[in-house]
A and B are shown apart, each in its own frame.
Chain A
């Protein structure tokens, strides 16, 4: 009976530790994942233009459950190289940007409804770079940039362009590819 009691205590201890292991594994997995979206888009860090990761039609993509009606393009960024400016010329097709952290999770999103005179332009920067940009700014000529603060140094932008009809798919792909992402040198 005493041995059985010890066995029960050991099992209970095991269950409690298992709970801790479970929580630790769930919390750690986005940081340990080597097959997540960021590691797959890292190759686009040096590109000046967004790279297509899922062309309309949904063929040849690593994205799970791709929407055949959308073109998905991406640019990875590393804010150690300076703030990143993402710019697109909007058209008749719905276009949206979403900004993702390296460890997954969205920190900002915008659609082309926010475009000004057919241009949608966002500058992602760190809090420090924002302070520097504000300090360097000319008071009489304030910048019109839309600035957002990124919570992490690395991340990626996802560009989605919807083609409501199959005949618009090539146009959607061209629009997604034409999005530029350039690292700005600190002034």
Chain B
């Protein structure tokens, strides 16, 4: 019986073997489909989350206002802030200036577009936009107030010394300077933030580049 069964099964087995060829190619096709789906999802997650992470750690991509070296995002503190701005504010645990309260301009380059470097010396002036008070503050790369021997890291519109034409010049350098002097940190890049408190009109809307202070690079030592 067994041998007979074997005999009768033999053609069936042979036919199965024959038909197994296309099914084999089907199974070969199916495995790459699963792999392709996994690849697609991994690609989507990696690229999507990676680009979102990159975006919220950077500066808001839209709605910027650039006046010479000074950069601001007037809509950051308004109900019209875009989703990138909201995400970036949440990420930085920041509290932006509201429209009408003030506006903050950041500069990380000088007026010729070169990165601000502590090894160089700079002169800032001669005027600033109209505001009730403005403050000019120096930060290191990480956004902290640098600790210098001078012990001051900012100037306000009330403190700065002016000439008879109401112009001012703030010197930024490592070594001591006469007049308005801010000492630069020991090394690396730095940023400047000019905050206008209670400016007239809609914040930033009517400002022009000519009103903003010029950041002039003087010389670069060792």
Q: Is B161 an interface residue (CB 8 A)?
A: no
Main secondary structure of the interface of A (DSSP, over half): mixed
Contact of A10 among B40, B92, B100, B157 (CB under 8 A): B40
Q: Is B139 an interface residue (CB 8 A)?
A: yes
The 0/1 profile, CB within 8 Å of A marked 1, for residues 79-121 of chain B is: 1010110110111111111111110000000000000000000
CB distance from B189 to the nearest CB of A (A): 15
Contact (Cβ within 8 A) B90 A36: yes
The 0/1 profile, CB within 8 Å of B marked 1, for residues 1-26 of chain A is: 00100110011011111111110111
The 0/1 profile, CB within 8 Å of A marked 1, for residues 36-59 of chain B is: 110111111111110111011000
Interface size, A (range): 35 or more
Query: What is the interface of chain A, defined by CB distance below 8 A to chain B?
Result: 3, 6-7, 10-11, 13-22, 24-27, 29-30, 33, 35-37, 40, 58-59, 62-70, 72, 74, 94, 96, 98-100, 103-111, 113, 158, 160, 162, 164-166
Given A64-B92, A94-B197, A109-B101, are A18 and B48 also a contact pair (CB < 8 Å)? yes
- Between-chain CB contacts (< 8 Å), 14 pairs: A11-B40, A14-B41, A22-B47, A22-B48, A25-B53, A30-B90, A33-B90, A37-B94, A103-B86, A104-B89, A104-B90, A105-B79, A105-B81, A106-B79
Contact (Cβ within 8 A) B77 A15: no
Contact (Cβ within 8 A) B52 A26: yes
Q: Is B143 an interface residue (CB 8 A)?
A: yes
Could you say which of B9-17, B64-72, B129-137, B168-176 contacts chain A?
Answer: B129-137
Query: What is the interface of chain B, defined by CB distance below 8 A to chain A?
Result: 32-33, 36-37, 39-49, 51-53, 55-56, 77-79, 81, 83-84, 86-87, 89-102, 132-133, 135, 137, 139, 143, 145, 153-154, 156-159, 193, 195, 197-198
Contact (Cβ within 8 A) B86 A105: yes
CB distance from B118 to the nearest CB of A (A): 17
Interface-central residue, B56, B87, B198, by most chain A CB under 10 Å: B87
CB distance from B35 to the nearest CB of A (A): 9
Contact (Cβ within 8 A) A160 B94: no
Contact (Cβ within 8 A) A25 B93: no
CB distance from B199 to the nearest CB of A (A): 10
